[in-house]
Amino acid sequence: MFIAEFAPKQLKRIQRLDAEDFDFPTFYKNIGKDTVQDYILIDADPKRLFNKIKKSCELIKAAGGLVKSAKGNYLFIFRNKRWDLPKGKVEKGEKIKEAGLREVEEECGVKIYTNDKKLCKTFHVYTLGNKIVLKRTNWYSMTVKAEPKLIPQKEEGITKAVWLGADELKPILKNTFPSILQVLEEASLL
């Protein structure tokens, strides 16, 4: 879903929704889980509209990383039948950037050498019981020394952790989340 002042130029068709009477919980409950349709809300004040939507959800803050090895490869995980990047919830009293580093180290069994600049912030929505959750994830560029062996955190549902070169991302792109594509785009990997 896009929220903007005007419709962006793009190749894919976007279904425009009425922003004036938009009720996010109703919209979210009525779209199918496997929908591939893009939607747009056009409003003179997109930030106000986004804040209204945000208030209708439970907000969870998370952080993660796009980790590059000394060999120039990138760390990817396979969780819940999809390719992903390591990330997780920010704990109480923890700084967001520190949470990203901790989550990557825990989920993949690596020691992060540098936790560099913030790449971007993504949002995604899911249900938890009867609640609609809006997860805001801050993504950071990270590095490791050499190319350490990866140990996927099985208790987090991670079945694989791999190093892939920028030229090996095709299988990832076919089976990942839009938010991960956004991170890869911000890192100039797409």
In this predicted model, what pLDDT tens digit does every residue of 127-141 receive, in sequence order?
999 899 999 999 999
Q: Which residue has the higher pLDDT, 155 or 16?
A: 155
Burial 64-102 (b: 16+ CB within 10 A, else e): bbbbbbeeebbbbbbbeeebbbbbbebeeeeebbebbbb
Q: What token pair was written down for 105?
A: 């180290």
Q: What token pair was written down for 6?
A: 């005007």
- pLDDT tier at 185, thresholds 50, 70, 90: very high
pLDDT tens-digit series, residues 142-154: 999 999 999 999 9
- pLDDT tier at 2, thresholds 50, 70, 90: confident
What is the model's pLDDT at position 37? Answer: 79
Q: Is 150 exposed, middle or buried (0-12, 13-18, 19+ CB in 10 A)?
A: buried
Enumerate domains of the chain plus CATH numbers: 2-55 (no CATH), 58-186 (3.90.79.10)
What is the model's pLDDT at position 34? Answer: 65
**Whole-number average pLDDT of the chain:** 93
What is the model's pLDDT at position 13? Answer: 77
Query: How many other CB atoms are there within 10 angstroms of residue 13's CB atom?
Result: 7
- pLDDT tier at 32, thresholds 50, 70, 90: confident
Q: Answer whether 37's CB lies under 8 Å from 61's CB.
A: no
Residue 83 has pLDDT above 90, yes or no: yes
pLDDT tens-digit series, residues 38-58: 888 999 999 999 999 999 999
